[in-house]
Amino acid sequence: MQLGLAGKVALVAGAGRGLGRAVAVALGTEGARVALVARTLAELEVTAQAVRAAGGEATAVPADLTDERAVTAALGVIEATLGPPTILVWSAASFFTPARLHTVPPAELRRVLDLDLVAPAALVQRLLPGMMLAAHGRVVLVGSLAARGGVRGGTAYAAAKAGLLGLARGVAADYGRYGITANVVTLSFVDTERLALRLGGSAEARDRLTRATATRRIPTPAECAAPIVFLCSGPASAVTGAELEATGGAHLNTLV
């Protein structure tokens, strides 16, 4: 299948490591011109090297995606170097210290909601005019099973991830007529540094997560990147407002 990604400009938010890095490499391999955004330039440079090693083109653009002025500056650089992005993959996420909601300081609540919901909505908003002009757009937001089942100590994160479903569906409904699709790829756990930090080296915790999957494996970043890249592609033009689980079956009831 031809994915039709050659020459398309893609912005990967959260491209410094983990899933975002895998998505950037996969998009670059398919010929997309990839803008890499996160705050840490050194990590973005590593991703850019990986994209180039895979034969792709990438530009590292460090920015805090919750900072409106930084986003404006980053989009200026991206448009000048690669052109206006018509593909957006949102893979950035906050780190949070697990705590029950009544103990979370209001500023921390806002910080998580700001990065995990307001920032992607604002970025989509900024990119829509260029997508409409190009009569082409692909928005893929990385979600979490937390949106469905909650996550202990992560209520704000779960609320934000649930909000991404509404964001994708709203954009899908309003902008489908301009050739723009918007979807969510829902994850359970992905074998990234983020997960390793959360597990704190506990083999028992890792085993518990593995047993929660149907595949008896925690999905790799590359495995989760593949359906994301498909949703960014030309042949995915009829898939919009959808939620696609890349969980290794962790969303299934595998207990009985």
Ligand X SMILES: NC(=O)c1ccc[n+]([C@@H]2O[C@H](COP(=O)([O-])OP(=O)(O)OC[C@H]3O[C@@H](n4cnc5c(N)ncnc54)[C@H](OP(=O)(O)O)[C@@H]3O)[C@@H](O)[C@H]2O)c1
Burial-class residue 126 by CB neighbours within 10 Å (0-12, 13-18, 19+): middle
Mark whether 157 is an active-site residue: yes
Site for ligand X in 194-213 (CB under 6 A): 194-195
Residues 238, 183: Cα–Cα separation, whole Å: 11
> Among candidates 84, 45, 40, 47, which has minimal Cα distance to 65?
40
Q: Between 18 and 137, whose beta carbon lies closer to ligand X?
A: 18
Smallest distance from the beta carbon of 188 to ligand X, in angstroms? 6
Position of minimal CB gap to ligand X: 18
The torsion of the CA quartet 68, 119, 219, 36, rounded to 10 degrees, works out to -20
- Note whether 81 binds ligand X by CB under 6 A: no
- Note whether 189 binds ligand X by CB under 6 A: yes
List the x/- string, 107-146, binding to ligand X by CB under 6 A: --------x--------------------------x-x--
Q: What are phi and psi of 74, to 5 degrees?
A: -65, -45
Smallest distance from the beta carbon of 66 to ligand X, in angstroms? 5
> Among candidates 119, 23, 10, which has minimal Cα distance to 64?
119
- Judge contact between 50 and 27, C-beta under 8 A: no
Structure tokens at 63: 């920015």
List the x/- string, 12-51, binding to ligand X by CB under 6 A: --x-xxxxx-----------------xxx--x--------
Active-site option among 157, 175, 189, 230 = 157
How many residues touch ligand X (CB under 6 A)? 26
- Note whether 96 binds ligand X by CB under 6 A: no
Q: Between 40 and 125, whose beta carbon lies closer to ligand X?
A: 40
Q: What are phi and psi of 42, to 5 degrees?
A: -60, -40
Distance of CA 235 to the CA centre of its chain: 20
Give the footprint of ligand X on this chain (CB under 6 A): 14, 16-20, 38-40, 43, 64-66, 91-93, 115, 142, 144, 187, 189-190, 192-195
- Kindly list the catalytic residues: 157
